[in-house]
Structure 1
Amino acid sequence: MRNSRISVLLLKWLLIVCQSEYHICQTSAHIVLQSTRFMSVLPGDEVTLDCSMAAGVRMSSYIMYWYKQDHYGEPIQLIIKENDKPTQNYEAILNTNDNRFSLKVSKVTAQDSVTYYCAAGHSEARTAYFGNGTKLTVLERDVKEPEVEILKPSGIETRCKKTITLVCVAEKFYPDHVSITWTLGDKEIKENVATDPYATQDKTTKLFSMTSRLKVSKKEFKPKNKYRCTVNFYNGTHDISDNTDEINGIEGISLDIN
């Protein structure tokens, strides 16, 4: 799953985009639900994406939309809304009895490898609530799990600074259906973590890489403390979370900072 920093950035960006289109947008897992975070399909396949509403929220009280975002940081684009006629590639399917709104994408190509957002709005209030998004990848090569390594802190940091920076590198994976978490023992670390907002792709191999950085107080970077980086990877059928590396603190590093 993407970390909270990415969610905040996405929410801020959606607010800017939607206000420019005379909407006030919010990402709200409490209203619009997209349970499938990642999907992988082959070229030419047909795929259906679903969203639903939270318990006690009636879909019939809203106007439902599907949007897409080609790449991180780019504007979202309206694809289709409820009761629109199907296009060559898209069909919206509304089932208010089951509180479900679906998007059918036909004969997918590489251009359909985008993130799809389901949204619910009130036209008179000009407000839209967005789901968390489903990232679809139309496969261009074989699936490959990430290689994970934690880079050791530099000597300058261990000698001269109050904090240690641990860098977790995930590389040579495909597709970019990953999230990175740090743990100390059995406890997830959420503070002082900075993860790339998106993976970068090698144009020749099509493989991706991504990094995450964790700042650790030198007082806490001791041998008894084991820091682990886990790269959760969705391979098209299920999540794999055994792509990890770990590092212990260093004995005897100086705490004296000039």
Structure 2
Amino acid sequence: MLIYLYLCALWVFYEVAPATISQIPKASTVMMGTDVTFECVTSEIPNKASLTVNWWKLGDERLLQPSSHGRKRVIQLENDRNLLKILDVRVADSGIYYCSVGQQQNEIVSGTGSRLQVHASPEPVSLSPKAPKNSSNLVLVCRTGEFYPESLIFTWYKNDTNIKTGISTSKILNTNGTYAASSSLETLQPSGSGALYTCLVTHLTLQSPAMAIYVDASLNPAKEKTHLFLLVCGCALSVCVCLAVTVLSRRKCQFRKQEGKEDSVKFPSGSFKE
């Protein structure tokens, strides 16, 4: 009797035991614009023909449907494997994705979830001058591209000296969930000093800070062209004077040599008679 009850218990356990699910990977961090794939692997259970696997994102009640259209695609594979592939990921795609196994429209068990984190680099970084409102001082603005997460640091240098004053920073949240930031530097020295300014941007996505450089050259190109023209003309005039002096010197030397030859000519005696 005990043996019979034991065998019945094993049969019931085998028929109604819930499936187990493994989600691979458990977490993934990718850059915005790339693709990511999550895998749902179910254990061996009876009646696999009636097995269904569903995917959804935490906080979103809609199930992700198998489709070859759109960025989020559910792909059924053999050997109890099911894939969720997200194309061209965006910051808004960040979250936890679950897969669940069901039979006859009844859910049996859900996976433990796969966490997706989407990052965006602040590159490219640009540095350009800005006309000041009430001053002739130099104003530089360092701007980033779209980035995520929010934390970001600007660092300024003039030549090799770190600048910590005259700096103001602003940050905005874009509609797609990314951020954009800018940092302004106003110096007390008028523009045209010839100094080298460097803006460094430090962010989680960067192995080394992104860099932008600005050389504070003269802001009056016409004046620079005039100076260059006068310099060229002066050089040309000097060359002409040198050539003229050289030619005159050579001619003078030749004239002196010719006079010396004439003075050295001697006429024979008796050649002329009075």
The TM-score with structure 2 as length reference comes to 0.36
Higher helix fraction (1 or 2): 2
Q: Indicate the structure whose relative CO is greater, using CA pairs within 8 Å and at least 6 residues apart.
A: 1
Larger proportion of strand:
1
